[in-house]
Chain A
Amino acid sequence: MDPRLRGEDGIRVMLSVAPLVARADAGAAAVRPVYVDLKGVAKTFRRGHGAAARETHALEAIDLAIREGEFLAIVGPSGCGKSTLLRIIAGLHPASAGEVAVGGARVAGPQTNLGIVFQSPVLLEWRNVLDNVLVQLELRGIDPRAYRERAMQLLAQVGLAEFADRHPHELSGGMRQRVAIVRALIHDAPLLLMDEPFGALDALTREQMRLDLEALWMASKKTVLFITHSIDEAVLLADRVVVMSPRPGRIEREFEVDIPRPRGLEARRHPAFVRIAEEITNIFLARGVLHGAGRAAPSEGDDT
Chain B
Amino acid sequence: MSGAATLPRPRGPSRAAALLGWLRKRAGAMLVFAALIVLWEVAVRAFGVKEYLLPPPSKVWVEFWKRHEIVMGGAWVTTQEILAGYALAVVVSIPLALTIAYSRFMEQSVYPVIVFLQIIPKIAIAPLFIIWFGFGFTPKLLLVFLLSFFPIVVASIAGFKSADRDVMDFARTTGASSLRMFLKISLPQALPQIFTGLKVGAALAATAAVVAEFVASDKGLGYLLLQYNGQLDTPMVFAIIVLLSLIGLAVYYAVEVIERIAIPWHVSQQGGAQDVAL
Contacts and interface: CB of A to CB of B under 8 A. Distances in A.
Interface of A: 87, 90, 92, 110-112, 114, 116, 118-120, 122, 124-128, 130-131, 134-136, 138-141, 144-145, 164-165, 167, 169
Given A124-B167, A126-B265, A92 B2 contact: no
A7 to B, nearest CB: 28
Nearest to A125: B265
B66 interface: no
A120 B7 CA distance: 28
Interface string B2-29: 1010011101000000000000000000
A187 B263 CA distance: 28
Contact of A125 (B171, B172, B181, B266): B266
B188 A126 contact: yes
B266 A139 contact: no
Nearest to A140: B174
A90 B170 CA distance: 10
B170 A165 contact: no
A130 B174 contact: no
B170 A116 contact: yes
A164 B4 contact: yes
Contact of A130 (B4, B173, B175, B184): B4
A92 B169 contact: yes
A139 B169 contact: no
Given A90-B173, A122-B170, A139-B174, A165 B9 contact: yes
Given A128-B4, A164-B4, 8 more contacts: A110-B172, A122-B164, A126-B1, A131-B2, A138-B2, A139-B175, A165-B7, A169-B269
Contacts of B69: none
27 contacts: A90-B173, A92-B172, A110-B172, A110-B175, A114-B173, A116-B170, A118-B170, A119-B166, A122-B166, A124-B167, A124-B188, A125-B269, A126-B263, A130-B4, A130-B7, A131-B2, A134-B2, A139-B175, A139-B181, A140-B176, A141-B176, A144-B2, A164-B7, A165-B4, A165-B7, A167-B265, A169-B269
Contacts of B263: 126
A141 B4 contact: no
A139 B269 contact: no
Nearest to B167: A122
Given A90-B173, A169-B269, A139 B1 contact: no
A194 to B, nearest CB: 13
A118 B164 CA distance: 12
Contacts of A136: 174
Given A124-B167, A128-B4, A167 B269 contact: yes
Contacts of B265: 125-127, 167, 169
A131 B1 contact: yes
Secondary structure at the A interface, as helix, strand, loop or mixed, is: loop
B180 A110 contact: no
A151 to B, nearest CB: 10
B185 interface: yes
B174 A165 contact: no
A276 to B, nearest CB: 32
Contacts of B1: 126-127, 131
A136 B173 CA distance: 9
A112 to B, nearest CB: 4
A195 to B, nearest CB: 10
A62 B167 CA distance: 27
Contacts of A164: 4, 7
A95 to B, nearest CB: 16
Interface string B149-177: 00000000000000010110111111110
A134 B166 CA distance: 18
A97 to B, nearest CB: 22
Contacts of A144: 2
Nearest to B265: A126
**Of residues B173, B176, B180, B181, which shows the largest number of chain A Cβ atoms within 10 Å of its Cβ?**
B173
**Of residues B1, B166, B170, B176, which shows the largest number of chain A Cβ atoms within 10 Å of its Cβ?**
B170
B185 to A, nearest CB: 7
A114 B4 CA distance: 26
A110 B173 contact: yes
Nearest to A93: B169
Contacts of B11: 165
Given A112-B174, A164-B4, A165-B9, A118 B166 contact: yes
Interface in B246-278: 263, 265-266, 268-269
Question: Top 6 closest A-B pairs, CB basis?
Answer: A112-B175, A139-B174, A139-B176, A110-B172, A122-B166, A126-B265
Interface string B168-206: 011111111000110011001101000000000000000
A32 B167 CA distance: 33
A165 B5 CA distance: 10
A111 B175 CA distance: 8
B248 to A, nearest CB: 29
B24 to A, nearest CB: 24
Contacts of A130: 4, 7
Given A124-B188, A128-B4, A167-B269, A87 B174 contact: no
